[in-house]
Structure 1
């Protein structure tokens, strides 16, 4: 065991650079899914990853040991989006059965429902949990965004939107944002009922909002849209810093993108199944082609040189250290 320690420390201290990112490839894949992965989330403080899939399963992984710890089936309700609460074995998830749009608080330990959150009347397409309080926000095709407290079944607030909403808290939980119709509206989480304190534009792109995310230092935000655009904005001033383009996605798919932990790189899926990487400073870094035809889900593991993609399988991407020498030599 002790012999393995120094290598691990070395890996952690390895800095993310263009070269390291270019060298990344699938180190391991779980191929035992019987449907596309529809959502995945990393727990911030442990090495746990949770996935939801069209095969109606919720799966818990320990990424440090590359193990699937648990599979729970949600046959009755189906499962679409899933997020960890602060507790590593408790999740909130949305249904996919078309008749019950409640969100559910589920203990993965004993497969028990701890609470139902009733209020939406159509599919929930965006879900974001507050990092520091027991609140969360959900956006639905019923054109509402609801604010919740995990301890109460009824929503604590309702905001109406004109279109499919993408919602996200920032990493401090002070602010949340709602995107639709080419605009991002910024709300103070403590007094959201006063309306947005600022509204940012992403230019002429009025196509449907897909996902909205803040970088972990809170300085940047990204918004993906159905037309295949990934917009990067300064989250304090609201100015549009850059827009990256990939192949557009169909109306039943979601274009997902993710910041690296240092906020310096953006990874994104694409409507042609590829994975793209950009440096926030200098532009495109890499592209990994795929035989898949739908955009993969993509999430960077917090504080780690690893990201995961979800399609009909779950893949763990890590740097190939043997390739790094050749990249450095080719400068």
Structure 2
């Protein structure tokens, strides 16, 4: 159940059940086209025509626990707070000295942690109320590329280009745990906060650890294996994992990848249940950029996420669209298909028209029936519940073969 931000009856939220029809009717209700300050023009030589600067993008977004506020971090070294209830900018803050990336709300709506992009690789604990740093978490010797807050307490976890995972607590600046890995890791907590996952590229391995015994071997190692890739290119392109997220019911793991496919895993057995296709991966920065031969992160990592009821996965795309996949009826494999490690391809139920440029960050509000989509700008998306939109949504679902 997801309450709609619009209210009636004295301010009581209207409760909406997310379904296929509603998800196909999500539209931008509020757009912030100037959410990121433009870059200065690049230097030019005498008698040379000036080149327009590349547009700056929002690189990360995070909702607070109540879904009332969203914070964004951008390439202009600013982070902004927006009210999800009235669709307004609440505050703009800057981190020109250190840069800002991977903003994550703590369990207080007045504080965040974030990674740095300049000066050093320190993680910073910031008070949004009085614009002060409360704590510095030093230890990483490379850029922090993955950062997640524990769902149950003041702990958080980070992965860095220095090939380490560090476990932290907001109450002390000393790292409480360290894992060394063969390559830069991507991290995620399960909803209980007891288990965390670590993805390691280029091996396409996901390691699951018990947080109380993180210094021991992982209790489950998952190989994200997709034999179908060998029929697409030769040699087959490697899977490059850029994000991990457990479903809110902890049964599935969403593996976000930089290429044109994300994967759904069984969190208990480790088997690959489906590949989500249809979007254009964010290995490049724009549609005009040349395609890469080798797999790389590109600008991906924040573009794919769950809805809070586990029913859908939403993802951005290089062409600016937002794709929606239905997770309620994943294909069931027979014994022969399971033995052959066959990976079903799942097509989206909707490709929603978005914004110019890549849909670089896509997150669904944890409490309200709204979605935030960010790239060069920021959009608040709500379901269009007008009668005309219901008829068009039904037509779209019929074309998709969904009832």
* TM-score of the pair, normalised by structure 1: 0.93
2:390 aligns with 325
1:263-318 deviations in Å (ceiling 9; x for gaps) = 01000112333211100126421112456443421000002211101101110111
Unaligned runs of 5+ in 1: none
- Note the C-alpha offset of 1:247: 2.2
The equivalent position to 1:244 in structure 2, one of 264, 276, 280, is 276
Q: Is the 8 A contact 2:144 2:159 kept in 1?
A: yes
**C-alpha distance in structure 1 between counterparts of 2:308 and 2:14, whole Å:** 15
Task: Name the SS of the counterpart of 2:218 in structure 1.
Answer: coil
2:342 aligns with none
Aligned CA distance change for structure 1 residues 254 and 22 (closer, same or farther; 3 Å)? same
2:137 aligns with 117
**C-alpha distance in structure 2 between counterparts of 1:264 and 1:137, whole Å:** 27
1:48 to 2:69 alignment: yes
**C-alpha distance in structure 1 between counterparts of 2:213 and 2:13, whole Å:** 45
The equivalent position to 1:68 in structure 2, one of 63, 66, 89, is 89
Unaligned runs of 5+ in 2: 1-5, 38-55, 227-236, 285-296, 331-345, 399-403
Q: Is the 8 A contact 1:164 1:208 kept in 2?
A: no
- Note the C-alpha offset of 1:5: 2.5
Aligned CA distance change for structure 1 residues 163 and 88 (closer, same or farther; 3 Å)? same
The equivalent position to 2:251 in structure 1, one of 207, 215, 219, is 219
- Greater relative contact order structure (CA < 8 Å, 6+ sep): 2
CA RMSD in angstroms comes to 2.0
1:165-184 deviations in Å (ceiling 9; x for gaps) = 21111111111101122111
Task: Name the SS of the counterpart of 1:19 in structure 2.
Answer: helix
The equivalent position to 2:300 in structure 1, one of 245, 250, 254, is 254
- Note the C-alpha offset of 1:4: 4.9
Q: Say how many residue pairs are matched.
A: 327
1:188-226 deviations in Å (ceiling 9; x for gaps) = 111111121101121147432211011111111101122
**C-alpha distance in structure 2 between counterparts of 1:102 and 1:253, whole Å:** 21
Task: Name the SS of the counterpart of 2:156 in structure 1.
Answer: strand
1:72-100 deviations in Å (ceiling 9; x for gaps) = 10010011111001111100011111x31
2:189 aligns with 169
Q: Is the 8 A contact 2:24 2:393 kept in 1?
A: no
1:277 aligns with 324
**C-alpha distance in structure 1 between counterparts of 2:263 and 2:390, whole Å:** 33
* TM-score of the pair, normalised by structure 2: 0.77
**C-alpha distance in structure 2 between counterparts of 1:28 and 1:272, whole Å:** 20
